[in-house]
């Protein structure tokens, strides 16, 4: 166990170092990537630009700049090039909205994804399965920005008036309003995953339903519900666990950029999107690291869960 | 006379597939008494497993069609509702399968998988009791240290131990009938003998009847009372073990006998096999189904022979047009592989 944690932590450090270094290098090579020119403004003199270079340390070799940036990331002194604001504080401000969105959507997509997958598999070939398959494909193919805007337009104050027009209300401020404001973003983000998980689970179930041990379970005289839940679903859910953990990590780490932007939730993803538009490296670096961290972290959790879910890979 | 447990009459099983209707089982009839061991022998696709699984309703599905009767102690298992059949499965009739590697769920402990079957049929049994019974059963099938092995996962058992555990699972509710579908095929030879011996011994201890399905006449030779040879979904010969081994009437039975490696015959260069492949169950050959592969086929074989008693001894039935005397003269050569299909 201790060895597992140490090995995983070391691996995580290496992954984060590589990710951050690559992100940094991209900014050196992209055109217009020089922050000093952009910070100086349109009518700046060469002298202005040189001054900015010196004060911000852009005249240093790139590895020194990289080391300095890493140091700032972990000491919390990272300052945005465009807004001159504290990046870590901005991320902290966006995190509640992002977490609310990710956790709520994850619960919805896991619940409905499993439900849809099971219904589709047990009625395989019948009209309900066909109907679900078509809906799932539509769900997977609908772009979030389009679906989100439609939902906002037709269900929001503009037309039906059932839901508010986006924006985030902190949970601590007003839980009812928080929930009310999150419903649309949750479902819009979850639709894609529901379709996808439903499809994956359906085929997993249809595979395991033909396993010999399922036949054994039936031959033992177990009732069909127990066979389905204890023997078929239990084994079909193992791959879903991996998918879920990684998707969830990606959504927390800024993967819900489109949903956050469409509903103006002011979350971490939206912050990242704004920073990319202005080629503002410090926030991009911080959000990328945050996302990478969550993915690495949840990957380790998946490995750990796997050993619990499948005794064959448990170390003896 | 021993109690009659099972009477199968004219069982017919068809599966509708995209390529056509598969005639998996066609007109199979037999009986089984308490304490008896019935061996069903045949190649893959001869319908022996489908016959067995149909008795437990495990072949039911939208594409399956059944005819005939499977009468278990006066109740028809074919027409029985799924709910009622559930009380029979694993309780009165239990089944063990070919590959013990895959027949147990890899994510549950062996003890739990035994207990699960116990509790399905004994709603009053608690976890503690079912576990204790699991230990008892594992001991009965010869698992060493059953008190600790009961908490092992299937992958911690060897192949032979897993098949023993499967037998323990099947015997959990003291069934009247144990169906063993190729129980030794996936095991090596020394373990095979142990498993067959175990089934034979436990049958007496549990006072059950056994249906032993195999493609290997050598396996049934040890314990079967009656042997039923199946080909292309039909019974081609049935008789006592002595009749089948010492006076086999059907050329297919001869082929099966010839394919057993034997120490009491001169060593052959290679093991005999029956020429050709079993027919497609969608497009069965006209007449005798074995005709295309039979080295002795003649005109009359284009018409299908009935399963009839053709020899002096009652109870020994076969489906072959050849005169009994002629068969007795030519079969030795066929069994030893000297005569082959043209």
**Selection from A201, A214, A7, A220 nearest residue A116 by Cα:** A201
Confidence (pLDDT) at A131: 92
Q: From CA B231, how far away is CA B238, in angstroms rounded? A: 12
Q: What pLDDT is recorded for position B266? A: 65
- And the tokens for A44? 């700046």
At B92, give phi and psi (nearest 5°).
Answer: -100, -35
pLDDT recorded at residue A305: 85
Q: What is the pLDDT of residue B139?
A: 93
pLDDT digits (tens, 9 = 90+) for B46-102: 999 999 999 999 998 888 999 999 999 999 999 999 999 999 999 999 999 888 889
Mean pLDDT of B330-340: 74
| Interface predicted TM-score of the whole assembly (ipTM), two decimals | 0.87
Instruction: Sheet containing B20-33: give its strands across.
Output: B20-33, B4-17, B64-72, B75-76
Percent of chain B having pLDDT more than 70?
95
The region of weakest confidence among A216-220, B54-58, B274-278, B299-303 is B274-278
- Rounded to an integer, the average pLDDT of B280-292 is 91
d(CA A257, CA A251): 8
The tens digit of pLDDT for each residue in A161-179 reads 888 887 888 888 889 999 9
Identify from A219, A314, A316 which residue to disrupt to test chain B contact, counting B C-beta atoms within 10 A and taking the largest count.
A219
User: What pLDDT score does B342 carry?
Assistant: 41
Is some CB atom of chain A closer than 8 A to the CB atom of B120?
yes
**pLDDT value at position B209?**
94
Of the pLDDT bands very low, low, confident and very high (cuts 50, 70, 90), residue B237 is: very high
Residue A250: its pLDDT value, please? Answer: 86
From chain A, the residues in CB contact with B106 under 8 A are: 213, 235, 310-312
The minimal CB distance from B107 to the residues A212, A224, A235 is found for A235
Chain A environment of B125 (Cβ under 8 Å)? none
Distance of CA A63 to the CA centre of its chain: 30
Would you tell me which residues 186-245 of chain B have a C-beta closer than 8 angstroms to some C-beta of chain A?
none
Mean pLDDT, residues B110-131 = 92
Return mean pLDDT, chain B: 89
Q: Is A241 on the interface with B (CB under 8 A)?
A: no
Query: Within chain A, which residues score under 70 in pLDDT?
Result: 254, 315-316
What whole-number distance in Å separates Cα of residue A309 and Cα of residue A314? 9
Q: What pLDDT is stored for residue B61 in this prediction? A: 86
pLDDT score recorded for residue B260 = 78
Q: Which residues of A touch B102 (CB under 8 A)?
A: 211-213
* Whole-number pLDDT of residue B231: 94
Tell me the whole-structure pTM to 2 decimals. 0.82
Model confidence pLDDT, tens digit, residues A240-272: 998 999 899 988 876 788 899 899 988 898 999
The full DSSP string for B183-243 is TTTTS-HHHHHHHHHHHHHHHHHTT-EEEEEES-HHHHHHH-SEEEEEETTEEEEEEEHHH
- A141 touches B: beta carbon within 8 Å: no
């Amino acid at each position: 166990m201790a060895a597992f944690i140490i090995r995983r932590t070391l691996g995580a450090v290496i992954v984060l170092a590589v990710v951050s270094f690559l992100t940094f290098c991209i900014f050196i090579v992209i055109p217009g990537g020089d922050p000093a020119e952009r910070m100086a403004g349109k009518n700046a003199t060469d002298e202005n630009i040189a001054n900015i270079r010196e004060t911000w340390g852009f005249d240093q070799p790139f590895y020194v700049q990289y080391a300095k940036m890493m140091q700032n990331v972990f000491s919390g002194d990272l300052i945005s090039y465009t807004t001159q604001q504290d990046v870590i504080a901005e991320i902290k401000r966006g995190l509640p909205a992002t977490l609310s969105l990710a956790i709520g959507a994850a619960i919805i997509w896991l619940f409905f994804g499993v439900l849809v997958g099971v219904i589709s598999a047990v009625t395989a070939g019948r009209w309900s399965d066909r109907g679900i398959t078509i809906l799932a494909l539509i769900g997977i193919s609908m772009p979030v920005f389009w679906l989100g805007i439609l939902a906002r337009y037709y269900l929001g104050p503009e037309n039906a008036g059932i839901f508010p027009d986006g924006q985030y209300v902190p949970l601590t401020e007003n839980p009812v309003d928080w929930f009310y404001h999150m419903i649309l973003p949750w479902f819009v983000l979850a639709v894609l995953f529901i379709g996808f998980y439903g499809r994956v689970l359906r085929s997993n179930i249809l595979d395991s339903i033909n396993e010999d041990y399922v036949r054994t379970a039936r031959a033992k005289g177990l009732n069909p519900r127990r066979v389905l839940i204890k023997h078929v679903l239990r084994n079909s859910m193992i791959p879903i666990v991996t998918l879920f953990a990684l998707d969830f990590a990606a959504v927390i780490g800024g993967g819900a950029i489109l949903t956050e932007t469409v509903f103006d939730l002011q979350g971490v993803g939206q912050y990242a999107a704004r920073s990319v538009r202005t080629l503002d490296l410090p926030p991009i670096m911080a959000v990328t690291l945050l996302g990478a961290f969550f993915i690495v972290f949840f990957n380790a959790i998946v490995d750990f869960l796997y050993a619990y879910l499948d005794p064959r890979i448990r170390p003896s | 006379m021993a109690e009659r447990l099972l009477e199968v009459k004219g069982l017919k099983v068809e599966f509708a597939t995209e390529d056509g209707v598969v005639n998996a089982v066609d007109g199979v009839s037999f009986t089984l008494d308490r304490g008896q061991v019935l061996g069903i022998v045949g190649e893959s696709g001869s319908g022996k497993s489908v016959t067995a699984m149909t008795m437990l309703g495990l072949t039911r599905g939208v594409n399956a069609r059944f005819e005939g009767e499977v009468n278990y102690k006066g109740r028809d298992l074919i027409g029985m509702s799924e709910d009622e059949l559930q009380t029979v499965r694993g309780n009165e009739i239990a089944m063990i399968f070919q590959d013990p590697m895959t027949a147990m769920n890899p994510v549950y402990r062996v003890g739990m998988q035994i207990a699960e079957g116990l509790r399905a049929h004994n709603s009053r049994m608690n976890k503690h009791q079912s576990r204790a019974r699991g230990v008892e059963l594992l001991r009965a099938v010869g698992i060493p240290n059953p008190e600790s092995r009961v908490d092992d996962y299937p992958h911690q058992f060897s192949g032979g131990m897993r098949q023993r555990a499967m037998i323990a699972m099947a015997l959990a509710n003291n069934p009247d009938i144990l169906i063993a579908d190729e129980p030794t095929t996936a095991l090596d030879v020394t373990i095979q003998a142990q498993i067959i011996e175990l089934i034979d011994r436990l049958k007496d201890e549990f006072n059950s009847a056994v249906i032993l399905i195999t493609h290997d006449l050598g396996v049934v030779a040890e314990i079967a009372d009656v042997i039923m040879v199946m080909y292309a979904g039909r019974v081609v010969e049935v008789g006592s073990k002595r009749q089948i081994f010492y006076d086999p009437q059907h050329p297919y039975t001869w082929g099966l006998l010839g394919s057993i490696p034997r120490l009491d015959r001169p060593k052959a260069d290679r093991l005999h096999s029956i020429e050709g492949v079993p027919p497609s169950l969608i497009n069965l050959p006209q007449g005798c189904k074995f005709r295309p592969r039979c080295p002795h086929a003649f005109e009359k074989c284009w018409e299908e022979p009935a399963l009839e008693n053709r020899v002096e001894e009652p109870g020994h039935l076969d489906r072959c047009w050849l005169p009994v005397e002629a068969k007795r003269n030519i079969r030795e050569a066929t069994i030893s592989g000297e005569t082959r299909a043209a």
